[in-house]
Amino acid sequence: MGRFQYWMNVSLDLRIEQVPGDDGAGEWLRIDEELHREFNARARELAMDVTGRVMYETMEEYWPRALGDTSLPDVMREYAGIWTAKPKVLVSRTRDSAGHNTRIIGGDDAIGQLATLRAGTEGTIGVGGAALATQLLRAKLLDELLLFTHPSILGFGRPLFDDYDLPVDLDLLEHKVFTQGVTMHRYAVREAVPC
């Protein structure tokens, strides 16, 4: 039985991008080698990644090229290797093909298909993308949040969840502090429906 874990870099006010199109590259992020090594170690342990189209296309554009870019630090090329090799599921109504060890789930029953995927997978399934994470949270299929909180207040921008206004109780499972002032919190979602 698998579990869905939503990964995200966030500001202190739980924003994931300040302006549309940041796509995880905002200047407010403090990603150094220590933090990237944490990303790499956790990504390596995932059974697979499930992402929405916007997040997938951001990753697809950058990481396959980074794999062979010797101007990049080793830690980034290592992540590129992890990302390209990891089994992935793209949730999209508009794409019908994808490379890099990716299969596509789409249509009106995407959440049902993801529930079946979760039930038939052993281990943690990384979730990327606010829209997808919001849908999983609404369906009570989101099991965990893995938040890397950067010491910045953005004041505006896209929130961690899209258009979600119901209370959600969480239990802290893990906490870690990094040298740049970034904190990692891993939470269990109390109302997640077991497989």
- Ordered by where they begin, the domains of the chain are 2-189 (3.40.430.10)
DSSP 90-113: EE-SS-----SSEEEE-STTHHHH
Q: What is the DSSP letter of 176?
A: E
Q: How far apart are CA 68 and CA 117, in angstroms?
A: 32
**CA 28, CA 10: separation in Å to the nearest integer?**
10
pLDDT at 24: 54
Beta bridge partners, 184, equal 148, 176
Percent of the chain with pLDDT over 70: 96
Instruction: Report the alpha-carbon distance of residue 12 to residue 14 in Å, rounded.
Output: 5
pLDDT at 1 over 90: no
pLDDT digits (tens, 9 = 90+) for 50-91: 999 988 998 999 999 999 999 999 999 999 999 999 999 999
Span 18-40, average pLDDT: 82
Beta bridge partners of 189: 170
Q: Which two tokens stand for residue 150?
A: 């950067």
Could you tell me where the beta strands, DSSP code E, fall in 86-141?
A: 88-91, 102-105, 123-128
Q: What is the mean pLDDT of residues 153-159?
A: 90
DSSP bridge pairs for 172: 187
User: What is the model's pLDDT at position 20?
Assistant: 62
User: Are the beta carbons of 61 and 73 closer than 8 angstroms?
Assistant: no
pLDDT band at 124, cuts 50/70/90?
very high
The answer to whether 104 touches 117, Cβ cutoff 8 Å, is no
Q: Is the pLDDT of residue 14 over 60?
A: yes
Question: How many helices (H) and strands (E) in the chain?
Answer: 5, 10
pLDDT, residue 163, reads 82
Q: What is the pTM of this model?
A: 0.93
- pLDDT confidence bin for 18, thresholds 50/70/90: confident
What's the pLDDT at 23? 53
- Separation between Cα atoms, residue 195 and residue 192, nearest integer Å: 9
User: Quick one: pLDDT band at residue 17, thresholds 50, 70, 90?
Assistant: confident
Q: Name the band, by pLDDT with cuts 50, 70 and 90, for residue 195.
A: low
Tokens of 182: 């970034």
CA 192 – CA 137 distance, rounded (Å): 8
